[in-house]
Amino acid sequence: MGKSISNDNRSIVSSSQKGGLVSRNITILDKRTSVRLEPEMWIALKDIANREHCTIHDICTLIYLRKKPETSLTASIRVFLMLYFRASSTEEGHRLAGHGCFQSMKTRAKVKNISFPTKKIINNSLDTISVTLP
* Confidence label for 103 from pLDDT (cuts 50, 70 and 90): confident
Query: How far does Cα 117 stand from its chain's mean position?
Result: 27
List of residues 6+ apart from 9 with CB closer than 8 A: 43, 46
State the CATH number of the domain containing residue 61. 1.10.3990.20
Share of the chain above pLDDT 70, in %: 72
Please state, in angstroms and as integers, the Cα–Cα distance from residue 69 to each residue in 35, 66, 73, 75, 97, following that order. Answer: 17, 9, 9, 12, 36
Parent domain of 28: 9-88
Give yes or no for residue 41 having a pLDDT over 80. Answer: yes
Give yes or no for residue 34 having a pLDDT over 60. Answer: yes
Q: What pLDDT score does 38 carry?
A: 97
- Whether residue 83 is found in the same domain as residue 102: no
Tally the domains of the chain. Answer: 2
Q: What pLDDT score does 97 carry?
A: 83
- Whether residue 83 is found in the same domain as residue 23: yes
Report yes or no on 4 lying in a domain. Answer: no
- Whether residue 76 is found in the same domain as residue 109: no
* Confidence label for 100 from pLDDT (cuts 50, 70 and 90): confident
